[in-house]
Amino acid sequence: MNRAHFTSFQESTREDWAVIMDHLPDTQNMVAENALHLLGLLATDHGGFPVTRLEHSLQTATRAQRDGRDDEYVVCALLHDIGDTLAPYNHPYIASTMVKPFASEANHFMVAQHGIFQGYYFWHHIGLDRNAREAFRESPHFEYTEEFCAKYDSPAFDPDYRSEPLEHFAPLVRSFFADRRRPK
């Protein structure tokens, strides 16, 4: 296997970086499988919610897909809570960092800010300001994110809802993260 030869970035050469850049597509090709694996791990935790964190993600994506949203939106809906068990207090930023190079500005904003927007529905029950999302009122993506939470994220805790399985979304996830889609 061809590898770079430096021991610190200061010593690196153009040739070293050519080797690394040659490997980048292989590394990027692992992202979709890693994301699917992380989503699968959400099946082991419900965090006290009526459904597992995976089922919530599947319901959110299924609702968006059945409503005719495009593939990018559906993948963002699926991944929006992927960080729930990694960093519960700032989970939106894990997902938004993952999707940023491949998603539109609106979808990136939606994923990054959904936690604050979702707070409208329950933060007043836990002593927080349910209107915190108003800080983003001037954003061109305010209504877009508000709609995501109202139509897809908020109602996606129904134990009787029949969502599509993770395998149904796997091709969309693989296509979304495919190396052919160079970061924007």
How far apart, in Å, are the Cα atoms of 71 and each of 61, 104, 109, 156? 10, 12, 17, 18
Q: Do residues 95 and 115 touch, judged by C-beta distance below 8 A?
A: no
Task: Return the structure tokens found at 129.
Answer: 């300001």
pTM of the model: 0.91
Digitized pLDDT (tens) for each residue of the chain, 184 residues in all: 799 999 999 999 999 999 999 988 888 888 999 999 999 999 998 989 999 999 999 999 999 999 999 999 999 999 999 999 999 889 999 999 999 999 999 999 999 999 999 999 999 999 999 999 999 999 999 999 999 999 999 999 999 999 999 999 999 999 999 855 555 4
Query: Do 94 and 87 touch, CB atoms closer than 8 A?
Result: yes
Count of CB atoms within 10 A of residue 104's CB? 16
Sorted by where each starts, the structural domains of the chain and their CATH numbers stand as 12-177 (1.10.3210.10)
